[in-house]
Structure 1
Amino acid sequence: MPNIQTSTVLQQQAIEWILRLDSATCTPADRQAFAEWLALGEDRRRIYQQLASRWNKLDRYKGRDFPVRRQALSYRAPHKRTRRLSTLALAASLLLGLGIATFSEYGWYGYPRHYATERGSRQTVHLADGSRLELSGDTELTLRVNRWRRSVELIKGEAFFSVAHNPQQPFEVQAGHGSIVDIGTEFDVRLQNRQVAVAVLEGAVKIVTSGSREISANQVLAYDQRGDFLESQDKPATITAWLRGQLVFENRRLDEVLSELERFHDTRLTLADPSLAKLRVSGTFHIGNLDGALNVIAMTLPVNIQRPSPGQVILAGR
């Protein structure tokens, strides 16, 4: 185990290697020299990996213009090794030292975490404050938590949010052309067919699009791609049935039903005739039983189920 003085020297050397290897002027000879330095001891490898990990986390912000960072990335190793750490390497060390505090979950900026689920899968994300995110199948979102705000961008799919209310750190969901601001609640947000539906189970949320409205427990509100509000006949218990392993449809268009079924199964569901899309479906289906759902649809609507290949189902009129 190196002493404190030795560790400091190795940290300085590791920082210079990070800068040199990240530079556009890095040569094969530089990389060979780095490999030889790294081979001199396990302590070098350990310290380099720790600092490189921090540098890589900070590197997620290449698109943002920090003057000190720009100087550090343009660093060129001096020809004369008269000083262990150059001014620019010092700037980099400050970035490395402060970067975690600045860009961590509770820093002033935070950094984004990206989550995505495949069809037929689910994922639960727990936040340190006790909040919980439940991602449905075929769902994608980006989460950013910092000292001032907790924010989510729902890119596609559906997610349920159980939020620990904190007025000093608001929780906001961006979906489509609107945002949903928590007022201490449990709510579901579904982005489908360019429409967003918000269902509140407990508490209340504020929805801001082209206008602003608040909804509370047992209410549902939707808005379209223009940000105009749409009244919904759905009930919160219907929208959130997927949390209980069910899908509940009440007079829903067939194309919407198929789109939702697809999120929970690795099977492509298509209509042979676009005019079939407007047929209406009502019923409760078990998420894991796609065949059962399709059989009920075929029994209640004038359609036949065709399976031209594995992973593909076509609904044709009869």
Structure 2
Amino acid sequence: MAVTTEADRERASDEAAEWLVRLREAPDDQANQARFAAWRAAAPVHEAAWTEISQAFELIGEPLARRPQTSSESVPRLRRKHVPGLLAAGIGIALAASAAMLFLPGWMLRLEADFATAAGEWREVTLADGSSVELAPLSGIDVSLKDGRREVRLLAGKAFFRVTPDPERPFQVEARNVRATVLGTEFEVSLDRTGTGVAVAEGRVRVDGGALSRVLAAGRWLQFDAAGGLRDGIRSESEIGLWRHGEIVAHDQLIAAVVNELRPYFNGVIVIASDAIARRRVTGVYRLREPVEALRALARAHGDISVTQVSPWLVIVSAD
């Protein structure tokens, strides 16, 4: 039986919110309806996420169908740039998001992890062996330093490690099915709905994942995509773990990827209104401590994209 992870639930919650906006934008688009039906049927976690957001809408008196729409059914339309319509969507998504944040990124993560952070929270932990770990928002780790072992399991988010050398006890970090092994170095491990990544700021790290085993030197990174793909590359060592200083640098990245980086720093839901916007690319430096302003800076790079904050918990990135 496949195990549903927190990353799976987080991804499903985000996708359900995005489907809500798409369906309300194009209620008569049968191709869109077919894709939505396929998404719901693909995994039980998808149906659970959609049920949650449907129930939230019923609470505000605007029911959504429990099943895929047929051509004779209508989906309440989200009127572009009309605040009352957006606000209704915002209330529904915020209710669903609040429930998700209560049980998943917040309380559930804290129940499972030895050390965890909430949305918008940074935390530095010194381990018993003298090594230190800096956690990004919505991140959590389990730590085992006993029986001659030094093992850390990343449950969600991002962690930056400064490892105290001990040749007799290699330091290992596991994230999903990826393991990073070091003797003494500085490196980052990330785990989210897009996949698992390892990037080395100093020293050397051996990365094992599936049939792959590779040693990364400073400035090298590997990304195991959730779909099974593998990417690697080189970046400036100063950019690895830059989130610890409240910034990220995007080099010709998809808007979807940049928004995914910003989500843990916003205490609510960020929705990209269309795949066309998500696939566009952007380059820039963005401030994580001000995620809404970072989104607006991203939008300014494209004259036809706007950012609308319709409640403290909901931001929508859409086309003008």
Query: TM-score per shorter chain, which class?
Result: 0.5 to 0.7
Q: Please, which runs of 5 or more residues in structure 1 have no aligned partner? A: 1-111
Cα distance in structure 1, aligned partners of 2:196 and 2:223: 5
Cα distance in structure 2, aligned partners of 1:255 and 1:245: 19
Q: Is the 8 A contact 2:181 2:205 kept in 1?
A: yes
Cα distance in structure 2, aligned partners of 1:226 and 1:277: 18
Q: CA deviation at 1:124?
A: 1.1
Which residue of the partner structure matches residue 285 of structure 1? 286
Q: CA deviation at 1:176?
A: 2.4
Distance 1:228 1:145, change over 3 A: farther
Q: CA deviation at 1:123?
A: 1.1
Q: CA deviation at 1:192?
A: 2.7
Cα distance in structure 1, aligned partners of 2:146 and 2:310: 50
Q: Please, which runs of 5 or more residues in structure 2 have no aligned partner? A: 1-111
Which residue of the partner structure matches residue 53 of structure 1? none
Runs of 4+ in 1 over 4 A off after TM superposition: none
Cα distance in structure 1, aligned partners of 2:275 and 2:123: 33
Cα distance in structure 2, aligned partners of 1:226 and 1:206: 22
Which residue of the partner structure matches residue 41 of structure 1? none
Distance 1:297 1:193, change over 3 A: same
Which residue of the partner structure matches residue 174 of structure 1? 174
Spell out the pairing of 1:77-88 with structure 2 (5 A cutoff).
none
Q: CA deviation at 1:309?
A: 2.1
Which residue of the partner structure matches residue 211 of structure 1? 212
Cα distance in structure 1, aligned partners of 2:227 and 2:269: 29
Identity %: 30
Q: Is the 8 A contact 1:134 1:159 kept in 2?
A: yes
Q: CA deviation at 1:307?
A: 2.1
Q: Scaled by the length of structure 1, what TM-score is found?
A: 0.61
Which residue of the partner structure matches residue 118 of structure 1? 118
Q: CA RMSD in A?
A: 1.9
Q: Scaled by the length of structure 2, what TM-score is found?
A: 0.61
> How many positions carry a matched residue from both structures?
207
Encode CA deviations 1:240-282: one digit per residue, 9 max, x unaligned. Answer: 1112221211111111211211112213111111221111121
Spell out the pairing of 1:300-311 with structure 2 (5 A cutoff).
300-301=301-302, 302-311=304-313
Aligned partner of residue 142 in structure 2, secondary structure? strand
Cα distance in structure 2, aligned partners of 1:316 and 1:185: 42
Cα distance in structure 2, aligned partners of 1:228 and 1:206: 19
Q: Is the 8 A contact 1:126 1:132 kept in 2?
A: yes
Aligned partner of residue 275 in structure 1, secondary structure? helix
Cα distance in structure 2, aligned partners of 1:152 and 1:233: 25
Q: Which amino acid aligns with 1:242?
A: W
Which residue of the partner structure matches residue 127 of structure 2? 127
